A = this chain, B = another copy of it.
Amino acid sequence: MVDIEKANATVVERMMEARPVVTGVAKALDVIPGMRENLLLHAGPPVTWERMAGPMKGAMVGALMFEGKAKSWEEAEGLLTSGKVTFEPCHHHSCTGPMAGVISPSMLVYIVENKTHGNKAYSNLNEGRGKVLRMGAYSPDVLECLHWINEVYGPLVGKALELMGGLDLRVLLGKALHMGDDGHNRLDAASLFYTTLLAPSVVRAAPNAETAAETIRFMGDNALTTLNQTMAGCKTMTDAGHNVEGSTIVTVMARNGTDFGIRVSGLGDQWFTGPAGHVKALYFPGFSEKDANPDIGDSTITETAGIGGFAMAAAPAIVTFISGKPQDAIDTTLDMYEITYAEHKYFTIPALDFRGTPTGIDIRKVIEKGILPRVNTGVAHKDPGVGQVGAGVVTPPANIFEEALIAFAQRYGYE
């Protein structure tokens, strides 16, 4: 019999010892493994155009407009349904994308390198909150912002990151958890810290003062400036623990707005999927539950790595954004200790006497305890073109852990 405990210990040790550093910015086509012209990446497990959620369709149409390949919805849809443009999950290409998670070949992406084990991951550049591509919006102002990000902001940020020799995301996130962040939906402190660290190099690398000022302002105004780098960083951590023979630890959780999918370290690249849940949310003024798309995005990689919903006890103020009481945030973290394998060495929670965050979801414990992983997330409008409508909390469907455990038993010869 395989030694599951030993395998799981190896996985969490590798996840925790991974040290992701964001080293720069490059064109998706130039750096993402397997990226090609006429390929779009998207969040979550694989999905067909027919079953695809509204906001993901909106983001794909917007991405093709951004690429100059389509001028209208109809034209874009034609390319996507004819097979002239194909689409595959970010996770099949060492990437993660928040919400719709659409990455197109010309988009700039962050390069995040795990300095301990050498593996890399990528994510696109965050556009801010509200009416943005990742939430399914694709109007001219959305595309204009994307072009500015790709032509002005991104190149300068990339130069600044190179000038400062990269920025250690594990250190950044460790400090941010001591400053009221959860590392997923609340990245206020991480984004301020990142902006402060990067700003001198932005100034030194900028072509002129106004570009530097505007770049720092955009970076500093957006409390999710560090979301995408954090996700890619978490991806390098969980990838470092993936494909360990005999491990029952989850190494991917991701949603495409239709399905929620997981992968398990000891079960290779097989997806286990079930219906994406409805988010228990606080809605922005003018929106309600009936506007909400089901759970979407690769950002659950943060919970998979031991932060986000799992570290909510560090972030009591997050309840003003995602609903609930501060005690709920504490209780969520305490619950997650029940289904995880380790307490994180480098991510600690002051309010819990500096206890390490619950790290490494064990599918056996999820089933045994009947406790599902807790995720906090933004909510996109179900229709393309609208954008974000709220934020809240959600869990994966239970069946995917059951199916994964059955597959594990079959694969490793258990009854």
Contact = CB atoms under 8 A, between A and B. Distances in A.
A200 B179 contact: no
Nearest to A188: B179
Interface string A185-214: 000110011011101110110100110111
A173 to B, nearest CB: 14
A220 B181 CA distance: 19
A209 to B, nearest CB: 5
A51 interface: no
Interface string A161-174: 00000000000000
A209 B175 CA distance: 29
A6 interface: no
Contacts of A201: 213
Q: Which of A188, A317, A319 has the most CB of B within 10 A?
A: A317
Q: Could you tell me the dominant secondary structure of chain A's interface residues?
A: helix
A351 B316 contact: yes
Contacts of A209: 203-204, 206, 209, 212
A50 interface: no
A217 B192 contact: no
Nearest to A214: B200
Contacts of A326: 350-354
A199 to B, nearest CB: 5
A323 to B, nearest CB: 14
A384 interface: no
Interface in A337-372: 350-354
A178 interface: yes
A105 interface: no
Contacts of A216: 196, 199-200, 203
A377 to B, nearest CB: 20
A206 B206 CA distance: 14
A130 to B, nearest CB: 20
Q: How many copies does the complex hold?
A: 2
Given A350-B316, A351-B326, A204 B196 contact: no
A325 interface: yes
Contact of A179 (B179, B204, B319): B179
Given A203-B203, A206-B209, A317-B178, A351 B351 contact: yes
Contact of A180 (B180, B206, B352): B180
A159 to B, nearest CB: 13
Contact of A193 (B175, B192, B351): B192
A175 B316 CA distance: 13
Q: Which of A200, A216, A220, A325 has the most CB of B within 10 A?
A: A200
Contacts of A217: 200
A247 B356 CA distance: 47
14 contacts: A178-B317, A179-B189, A180-B180, A180-B350, A189-B189, A195-B196, A199-B213, A200-B214, A203-B212, A209-B212, A317-B350, A319-B350, A326-B350, A326-B351
- Which 6 interchain pairs have the tightest Cβ spacing? A316-B350, A196-B220, A200-B213, A178-B317, A192-B192, A317-B350
Given A192-B196, A209-B212, 13 more contacts: A175-B188, A179-B188, A180-B180, A189-B189, A189-B192, A196-B196, A196-B220, A200-B216, A203-B203, A203-B209, A212-B212, A326-B350, A326-B351
